[in-house]
Every structure is written in C-alpha cells, then in structure tokens.
Amino acid sequence: MSRSGRRSRAAKALGRSATPRREGTAKTPGEIDAMAASGAVLARVHDTLAKEIAPGVTTGRLDEIAEQLIRDAGGVPSFKGYQGFPGSICPSRNDEVVHAIPGDIVLADGDVLSLDCGVTLDGWVSDSARSYAVGAVTDEARRLIDVTRESLARGIAACVAGNRIGDIGAAVQAEVEAAGFSVVESLVGHGVGRTMHEPPQVPNYGTAGTGPELFEGLVIAIEPMVNVGGPDITLGPDGWTITSADGSLSAHWEHTVAVTAAGPRILTLAAGG
C-alpha cells in the first residue's frame, strides 16, 4: 500500500541543506534478514498469483489464494483490516491506480492488473506490487507496465547510503517522463518495518541531492504509480479505490528495499533470489 503524500510541489524545494537530515530508524542486519523472510513469503504469493491471472478469474479468488498462502506460511496479511480494508490484496485494474477492493470483479482480456500485497511475518512487514497484462493488451498498456517496472529498477539503483530521498524520486521520474507518462505525486512510497508505513516518505518525483539522507539499515518501499495520461487521481465512492482523474491506464510496481553496505538489497524477492 502507498500512503498519502505531501501534495505541494513546494516539498520539492525542501531539504537542500549542508547537513542532511535523517528520517526513519536503522534496522540491524538480523532485522533486515527477518524482513527478507517476510518478503520471500510475499514473493511466493506474487509468483503464485501471476500463474492464476487470466480472463474470467475474479479478483476475489486471487485474494483468497493470497490469504491462504500467507497464513500457511505463518504470516498475516498486512492489508487485511488496515484502517478497515477488507482484503489481503489490492487488485487495481486499468484506470484504477491503487487500493481497489477484491471481490466479484471478473478479469477481462486486455486488462492491466496491478496487484499490491503485504505480509507480516514474525512482526516484520514487507510490501510489494506488480503489474500484469491480462491476456492480450495494447502496445501502450505493455509499454506502461514495462516503463513502470524499469522506473522502479532505476529508483532501487539510487537506494545507496549517502544518497538522498530525492535521488530516488528523480531517477523514477526521469524514466517515466522520458516515456511520455506521468508519475502520481499525491501518493508516495514509505519506510517499512514493524509497521507498514514509517518515515521517510518516498516520492516518485524529486530533485537529486535533496531530501532526507539514505543510511545503512534504512528500509523503504519504493513504489512508482504511473499514469499514461495526467498525474491527477480521484478517490472512488467506496472510499478506497483510487483512479486516474482522466481515466487513463495506470500501473504500479513496488519492492521493499534495504540500504546496506553492499548497496541496495531487495527484500521482496524469492528466497535465494
């Protein structure tokens, strides 16, 4: 899940100072290993759901599979009950950006489906999202999914001790805007740990060299949300589902990443991956 961010672009101007500030707490190497164990369960959920996605499948069925896998692994679905959210996954389709509720919606050929999920294992949260083509999609939809995934990779590459939060956002934004798409600015990534949302906020836009400093032991969820059209979003009548304001297609990729002495460590990969 993403969190609400500062809506003001003025936030971009903040943080350029001689002594970079830090937000969030450092996890020990042992704690990061525990978060990677949580993330491995989450990766298995995503890998399993990827094989189930097809025209005719309901988002509610995907939710059941995810919850069962998480509980069988001894974990708890982090999203279920979070501020009253009823599901274990957020299956957001087409113009839905994030936070859609699973149910009797039937996947159709040509849909773009973003699946966001969180796992709490031994008290440690992991958070990750992937976007998929359902059946045969348009070239533009395929490009949107690929560009969003690549923008996440660029953001992760900037996740190095001594860098700033703005280096991540700038890397994501450059990739997205070079493709002619828009980053959603009013929802952001976040620190992760014992709870799903911790400092710092991790915007998908920004200016390199600005913002809080990245330091060893910091764990953050980087999660570009990308619209084909404009960046504006709308909250739906269910109080959860967020759509692109102009109805354009949207995609979402997310990994939970630790800043380590050896560079960025993605925690939401399959064990051994």
Binding site for Mg ion (CB under 5 A): 1, 116, 127, 129, 221, 223, 254
**3-state helix/strand/coil string of 249-267:** CEEECEEEEEEECCEEEEC
* H runs (alpha helix) in the chain: 29-52, 59-72, 139-157, 165-178
| Residue of 238, 129, 225 whose CA lies nearest to 172 | 225
Task: Please identify, using beta-carbon distances, which residue of 20 and 125 lies nearer to Mg ion.
Answer: 125
Residue 173 · residue 205 · CB < 8 Å: yes
> Least distance to Mg ion from the beta carbon of 223, Å?
5
Q: Closest distance between Mg ion and the C-beta of residue 182, in Å?
A: 19
Report, in Å, the least distance between residue 17 CB and Mg ion: 27
What are the angstrom distances between the C-alpha of 29 and each of 22, 32, 155, 194, 260? 19, 5, 22, 15, 9
The distance of closest approach from Cβ of residue 235 to Mg ion in the complex, given in angstroms and rounded to an integer, is: 17
- On whether the CB atoms of residues 87 and 80 are closer than 8 A, the answer is yes
Pairwise CA distance, residues 132 & 111, whole Å: 8
| Nearer CB in complex with Mg ion: 6/246 | 6
Nearer CB in complex with Mg ion: 34/221: 221
In the complex, the smallest distance separating the C-beta of residue 268 from Mg ion, rounded to whole angstroms, is 9
**Cβ at position 119, least distance to Mg ion in Å:** 11
Q: Return the number of the residue (1 or 228) whose C-beta is nearest Mg ion.
A: 1
Positive or negative, the CA dihedral 227, 269, 77, 66 is positive
For residues 167 and 270, the answer to whether their CB atoms sit within 8 Å is no
Q: Which is nearer to Mg ion, 154 or 255 (CB)?
A: 255
First vs last C-alpha separation in the chain: 23
- Nearer to Mg ion among residue 198 and residue 223 (C-beta): 223
Residues 6 or more apart in contact with residue 33 via CB below 8 angstroms: none
Nearer to Mg ion, 16 or 194 (CB): 194
Shortest reach from residue 189's CB to Mg ion, in Å: 6
How many CB atoms within 10 Å of residue 71?
12
